[in-house]
Amino acid sequence: MEADLYKDNLTGIYNEKFLNEKYYEYISKWPEAYFIAIDLKKFKSINDTFGHANGDACLIEFAKILASTFRESYAIHLHGDEYAILTNNNMEKIEKLLQICTYRISAAEKDKKIPRTFEFNAGCVKAIFDFDETKERADYMMYYAKNNNSIFQPFDESIYAEKLKQNNYLKTVDKALEDETFSYTKRSLFTKDKQETNTIQIFTKKQDGTSIFNDGRYDILKNTSKLIHFDIFNVPKIIENCTSNSENIVISVDYKTLIFNPELINILTLLQDISALPYEQIILNINLNGINNNCYKNILNKIEELKSLGFQICLDKYTSSIGDVLWEESDVEYIKMQSQCWKEALLNKKKQELLKRRLEMYAISGITPIFDYIEKEEEHEFLSSIALENTLFSGNYYKEEEPFILSLK
């Protein structure tokens, strides 16, 4: 029967085929209709803990709750733990109905219809003629709610405008990768008495020389596969252009690139024979931002592999104990000190003492700390007062960035 084509086999409510074919008919009848995107929160843990049969029971029960709560609306099971609703209720009523859904989930657990209660996140937008745009807006509001630990997020123009800015940023990076139109700058590292060393950091910039990663954009890139592509393009390109035999070169790479794409180390191995600069003079600065317990053994193995090629290693941007385990269990030469931490220590005596102890631990292990982003005399004075002799410093206070010329297309 045709009606069966529109019913989801598992839950019995409408399916995605129904939504795709009836969407325009519905918004023609209800010009002020709203579209709600819904995703269950941490649903995988239910399957892992109670088994897929109990997971299916949750999906079925949630479908019943949506259909019975949003009467005279269309409740749709898309796939997995994703649902949608087409409704002619106003935004205030929608929020109340979603709250009722949370109560009914708790009641279902008490009635032993489901093994445990669960939560969901919902994003709601006005249903416009462009169906793809409607879904994209609702999905983004739903993920915004998820990331901000909220059940419900109605459409917010300012939030969505930020998404569009992110999209434009990603397109800029894609275009730069395609055309090889990045620019690069270098900045020297200094001793505590302001003497310039033979070690420089290389920074990748936009074509106009502005930062790629400012305003939290590193995290945007990190959450896509583009960061891996960026590293695989960028690190070998810089090494190919390093020709000075008198300087150590610091190049940044994300830990995910090392763990999830063996291509980078393969390329580095091939470059070893043709690089004008010995790998012993290259310091790979590994960005550990976001690393978790599941990854640390893998990154430990990658560090050993990089060390066998001759690279020096610097650990950067870690805020958890995992970073400490890495430098304790591996042979790294440098650690970048989080600027937020040392700036807090500047104003807090207790944190100053903790920072001093950390520097002493690094010294015992033969590790050189690097303080970066120093801008003011008072920052230099504070850091030089607590730093040991092997500590290095960098920032516009000492010397501004200079162009670093690469042989690009």
- Sorted by sequence, the CB contacts under 8 Å of residue 185 that are 6+ apart come out as 202, 203, 205, 209, 401, 402, 403, 404
Number of H helices, E strands in the chain: 16, 14
pLDDT computed for residue 33 by the predictor: 96
Please name the helix (run of DSSP H) or strand (run of DSSP E) that holds residue 174, with its range, or none: helix 157-179
- DSSP code per residue over 237-261: HHHHT---SS-EEEEEEEHHHHHH-
- Encode pLDDT of 245-257 as tens digits: 788 999 999 999 9
φ and ψ of 148, to 5 deg: -110, 15
Averaged pLDDT, 160-181? 84
Q: Provide the b/e sequence for 359-379 (b: ≥16 CB within 10 Å).
A: beebbeeebbbbbbbbeeeeb
Q: What pLDDT score was predicted for residue 407?
A: 55
Average pLDDT, the chain: 90
The pLDDT of residue 119: 94
Beta pairing, strands 392-393 & 368-371 = parallel
pLDDT at 215: 61
Is residue 20 classed as helix, strand or coil in its secondary structure? Answer: helix
Domains recognised in the chain with CATH numbers = 2-155 (3.30.70.270), 177-403 (3.20.20.450)
Q: Give the integer Cα–Cα distance in Å for 135 and 141.
A: 10
Coil/strand/helix, residue 337:
strand
What pLDDT does residue 273 have? 79
Q: Is the pLDDT of residue 366 over 70?
A: yes
How do residues 334-355 score in pLDDT, each as one tens digit?
999 988 889 999 899 999 999 9
pTM higher than the cut 0.85: no
Does 316 have pLDDT greater than 70? yes
Confidence band of 384 (pLDDT split at 50, 70, 90): very high
Q: How far apart are CA 151 and CA 343, in angstroms?
A: 36
* Pick from 113-127, 156-170, 303-317, 350-364: least confident: 156-170
Joined tokens for residue 130 = 């462009």
Burial 39-51 (b: 16+ CB within 10 A, else e): bbeebeebeeeee
Residue 250 is predicted with a pLDDT of 95
Question: What integer is the mean pLDDT of 101-118?
Answer: 94
Q: What is the pLDDT of residues 248-303, one digit of tens each?
A: 999 999 999 999 888 999 999 988 877 778 899 999 999 998 888 888 889 999 99
Kindly report which listed range (66-80, 193-207, 240-254) carries the lowest average pLDDT score: 240-254
| Residue 376 contacts residue 395 (beta carbons within 8 Å) | no
Does the structure show a pLDDT above 90 at 87?
yes
- Looking at mean pLDDT, say which of 97-106, 153-162, 218-227 comes out highest: 97-106
pLDDT tens readout for residues 53-65: 999 999 999 999 9
